Amino acid sequence: MTYDNAEEVRRMARSHVFQMRLIPMTNTHHATIEELVIGKDLSWLDKLPAVHDPEAEYIVRKTERKRSNKRREQTR
């Protein structure tokens, strides 16, 4: 079942030994919110890309910083 991501709901789920996962949902205003999925065994959810961010490879390029005029004058 899904429910709002509220601390009271989390506390109740924990007290009854349920597992919880946050999943992205779109509401009627097309805004993305997070809801709780609550159940006894949610291991099947761990395989879904919507639950976890996919691994990404980032390319980092060095950029040359420009010096201010004051620094140029000091180094001369």
**pLDDT, tens only, 40-50:** 998 888 787 66
pTM of the model: 0.55
Task: Tell me the C-alpha distance between 19 and 70, whole Å.
Answer: 59
pLDDT tens-place values along the chain, 76 residues long? 667 888 898 899 899 999 988 888 887 888 888 888 899 998 888 787 666 544 556 566 676 766 666 555 565 5
pLDDT at 31 (0 to 100) = 85
What residue ranges do the domains of the chain occupy? 2-75
Q: What is the pLDDT of residue 30?
A: 84
Beta bridge partners of 4: 35
